[in-house]
Structure formats: structure tokens, C-alpha cells
Amino acid sequence: MLPRSQWIQNLPVLEERLGYRFASLERLEEATIHKSFTNETKKGGGRRDNERLEFLGDTILGLVVAENLMRLWPDSPEGVLSKLKGRIVSEPSLALVARNLGLGSYLLIGRGEEMTQGREKNSILSDALEAVIAAIYQDGGLEAARSFILREFREIFESASRGETAADYKTLLQEYCQRELDTLPQYAIVGQSGPDHQKVFDVAVRIRERVWGEGQGHSKKEAEQKAAKSALERIAQTTTDLPPPSGRSKRSGG
């Protein structure tokens, strides 16, 4: 479990990743305390967990998303806007944004959640992101929260407008390799840096012994997702460099 002293020292680093400087760092402290920690440490030594902020952040996120959708699609009916909003504020979408920020590395969680990889759980990550949004709102007002949301959710907005959900690039790459090449991508950690509580992983993905993508993240899963995304982007541009399986045409299916 991350020591409380180290957690406090890490918060200014999280500020940098969020792109927002808090006037009162106590708000960010509360946003990053999971209930599992307070439950296991006699109510967290007087600290409050992030559930109340999560409640507020959910409302703020919904407001900003709805407002932006109406601006982007002024002629779309309510039904269409509701579906778009649902995709953007879904748990997988929020968890994806949280992973991109490396938010899981900065959470104060209980030993039980630590042992079950709580920092990687979609539910914990999405709730923490909503709490962070609320903390920014309380500290800097609606405009600060709006700026953060529109910046960090930009790709989610674009994906939703194309009818896509939050992208799971590893699954997409695996499906492509199985369907077109009769093989599976292989991921390998090629480097890591930083202290144990805040490591940065460098991952490469190989397809038929060739590196097709690389990614970096504060967890292996985050780095693998970025490596898979990089590989998919390269494949989309240079598919002729990937030979089909022996005796098969890539498009023939057999």
C-alpha cells in the first residue's frame, strides 16, 4: 500500500498531469482517497474519502458533456444527443481517460484493493476521475472544470461522434491479427523507470517477431494499450508490410 507520506509528495506531480494547479491541495487529497483506505484505517485518520466528490463530479461532467454536445450538434434530436452522452460518460470511457492520466498511481487505497489490483479497476478509476473533476470545480469554478473535461475527453467525444465506444486497442489488435494473419501480437516490457510506487513502463508489441508499436504508461496495461494503438495506426498506413499467413490471402478468409 502506498505510504501516506509518499502519497502527499506525489500530489504536485498529479497536478502537473492534470494540467491544473490547485489553490487548495486538500481538495485533490480528498479526490484521491478511496473508501477502502478509510474503511481499513479507522476512517482514514480523520480524512474523508472521495465518494461525495464523485457524486458532485458526475453532475458536473454530465452538464459539460451535454452542453458541448448541443454546441457540436445543434440540429441533432434529444435521442441522438442522449446516446452520445451515454457513450462519453460511461464507466469504460471514464476509466480510459483516468488511465491516460495515470490516475491509478496516485490513489490512496486499502490493502485489500491493492492486493486485487484495485488501481486498475474501471469502477475505482472512473469514480476517482469524477472526484477529481469535482475537486477542480470546487477549487477553480465551472470554467476550470469545463476546460479540463473538454481537453481530456477530446478523443472520447470524437469516438462517440463516430459511433464508437471507448477504444480497447489490445482487443482490436488481437482481433485483426487473428482474422488477417493467423497469429497473435506479443507484448514485452522493454524498459522501466521511476520508484516502485510510481514506475513508468515501456512496452513494445511484436507481430511475427517485428516491433509494430511502442507505448509508455504508469501501468503495464496502460503501456500495452498505447503500444497496441501505435501498432494499429502503423498497420493502417502500411498493411502491405505485413505478409499474410502461409498459403492464404489476407482478404480471402481461407
The residues assigned a catalytic role are 58, 130
Quick one: CA dihedral 69, 75, 76, 77, positive or negative?
A: positive
| All cell numbers assigned to 158 | 470524437
Cβ 37 vs Cβ 109: under 8 Å: yes
Q: Cell triple for residue 113?
A: 484493493
CA distance 154 to 148: 10
User: Beta 186-193 vs 200-207: how paired, if at all?
Assistant: antiparallel
Phi/psi at 186 (nearest 5 deg)?
-120, 130
The Cα angle at residue 99 between residues 65 and 5, in degrees rounded to 5: 115
